[in-house]
Amino acid sequence: MVPWQHCFSSWGGPVLLSQHSLVAGEAFGGPGVNHEGAHFRVENGGLPEPLAVRPTIYFGGASKAAERVAAKHADVVLLWGETPSMVRDRIASVRPGDGSSSA
């Protein structure tokens, strides 16, 4: 198993990644971040100063669990090797809303 594969193991990887993404996003806003979750705790965390520009969050993963995390937290979802129809289906499954938007 490569190091990142444990994130999607049966012990709650999607929850771990979602919590991490949430806390990291809050940390970009400056100090005072507090989080108590199933996998970790942060007390008064965050950057010393808020970032002037929030970094773009890229995410890759093809499982349904990964798509849910990407839909909630990612700015860009990475795709690879899919046919155009597969890409259309993936975009529809990740994009917020009813999936009726054209891609």
How far, CA to CA in Å, does 35 sit from each of 7, 23, 28?
A: 19, 7, 14
pLDDT of residue 53: 93
Sheet strands (E) in the chain: 33-36, 41-45, 58-60, 76-78
| Structure confidence by residue, pLDDT tens digits, 46-93 | 999 999 999 998 888 888 888 888 888 889 988 888 899 999 998 888
Report yes or no: 59 and 76 within 8 Å, Cβ to Cβ.
yes
Sign for the pseudo-dihedral over CA of 2, 54, 51, 33: negative
pLDDT of residue 10: 52
Q: Whole-number mean pLDDT of the chain?
A: 80
**SS3 assignment, position 34:** strand
φ and ψ of 63, to 5 deg:
-75, 160
Is the model more confident about 97 or about 50? 50
Q: Give the pLDDT band of residue 97 (cuts 50, 70, 90).
A: low
* pLDDT higher than 50, residue 102: no
Q: Give the pLDDT band of residue 44 (cuts 50, 70, 90).
A: very high
